[in-house]
Structure 1
């Protein structure tokens, strides 16, 4: 059975109000479907011909997706899907916390 994890931004503190809102603006809350998401973790391979993710599988990651507004100034507008991967610490006795790496960039995919 896939693991589930609640997606929650540390800066919205569960309010659904986007981060980075100017102090003179009235923030717009995120729609419920974006605020109350669960990430379903699954195998990262998309199929038998997925060579890149098959090589990645040797590191035993789990992949998932969640949605965010395309434009946080209009949080009720179109949303995009963000793909994420996680890998459990191999030495839990010396685990320090979470490491987040963003491999993509504007106009360039992180994987593929």
Structure 2
């Protein structure tokens, strides 16, 4: 579970969204539920990931942030030398929800 306490301190300034997006991007495919959000490929890639803040709702206990994430995927084959399937990079999109605890910065990330 990532901790975004430093970024949480930026809320509600103009720096919050870009810094949060940069931090989320650093989590990559291993730290985000991108694999579960696939619609075309079977392996999520995070090479050209674009993260946007869509909505932010706040309560006393947490910030609930909805992110739109554009990324890519591939369909893997057997990778044999005579495999006729070229490796195609496919566009993907998913929305994730971050629940950031306002006291600790601990963040739950889930697919929407």
TM-score category by the smaller chain?
0.3 to 0.5
TM superposition score normalised by structure 1? 0.40
Higher relative contact order (CA 8 A, sep 6+): 2
TM superposition score normalised by structure 2? 0.40
Structure holding more helix per residue: 2
Structure holding more strand per residue: 2
